[in-house]
Amino acid sequence: MKKVRKVILPVAGYGTRFLPATKAMPKEMLPIIDKPVIQYVVEEAVASGIEDVILVTSQSKHAVEDHFDDNKELEAWLQSTGKDKQLEEIREIGKLANFIYVRQKGPYGNATPVLNCRHLIGDEPFAVLFGDELFSGDKPRLKQMIEVYEKYQDPVLGVIEVDDRGTERYGIIDPAAEVEAGIYQLKGMVEKPGPKKAPSHLAAIGAYILTPDIFDSITKTPSGHGGELVLLDAIFGLMKTRPVYAKKLEGEYHDTGNKLGWLKANVNEALRRSDMKKETIAMLKEIQ
């Protein structure tokens, strides 16, 4: 059995929901306390057993690439000023994984960066995570999903439970059966159906374990509204030839691509840190 060793991180988007902050800075570099969002995603992947991190970038994403590279000038300054803790922290960033960079080319849509990496994946299963989604919990979400893949050997989607309003914001899965507690074989998926038409209250987020046959499915998938090539459409096509599963994730989901989600992720992370928890609680009480 081939293990999931590689993750694709699409980071080529403009981040328009955070303009003007993202005019010159990639949205993936927005800080959650003192680390950029993308570093949290990479750390989660590495904690789940990932060795190769493939970042699909664009010409405006040099800061992402620089973040995971060495900075000898900064290191020399930190060393000369005795800032040993910070020096060790930044040196460890580049050692997290084997980083590979690919420029996105092709039609608009989140299936395109996956297809751009076909030559790097070969015949291995792989993961896809989005660079602006965080998950906090006792076990990394990707590890939860890999455990399901290793048991069933078929593609796996990460899903979360949402309320009625969430059925208007996310793609909602249509489960054929709950094969184990929190693990579903899929019959289909409906994009933002609303509470009356939703087949479940389980929403697909940007977390996938995929198999190499997804690439042929992407090439056969017609573009959707606005010429967008959608990964979920390609996964739905894959369901015609093999089972696809969903794992209900344990933990707390944060969509840092929107302002309130980013703010909540910062507060949540501050409350998780022993050096900030007490002061953060006091601050929240003060502003209520």
Tokens of 127: 């993961």
Within-domain flag for 261: no
In a domain, 10, yes or no: yes
What are 158's two structure tokens? 């990460």
Phi, psi angles (nearest 5°) of residue 60: -95, 10
110 closest CA partner among 21, 204, 185, 199: 204
- Note whether residue 83 is domain-resident: yes
Helices and strands in the chain, H and E counts = 11, 13
Q: Is residue 260 part of a domain?
A: no
Number of compact structural domains in the chain: 1
In a domain, 275, yes or no: no
pLDDT tens, N- to C-terminus, the chain (288 residues): 789 999 999 998 888 888 898 888 889 999 999 999 999 999 999 999 999 999 999 888 889 999 999 999 999 999 999 999 999 999 999 999 999 999 999 888 899 999 999 999 999 999 999 988 888 888 999 999 999 999 999 999 999 999 988 898 888 989 888 899 999 999 988 888 898 899 999 999 889 999 999 999 999 988 876 778 889 889 988 998 999 999 999 988 988 888 999 999 999 999 999 999 999 999 999 987
- The reported pTM is 0.92
The reply to whether 278 falls in a domain is no
| CATH number of the CATH domain containing 113 | 3.90.550.10
In a domain, 198, yes or no: no
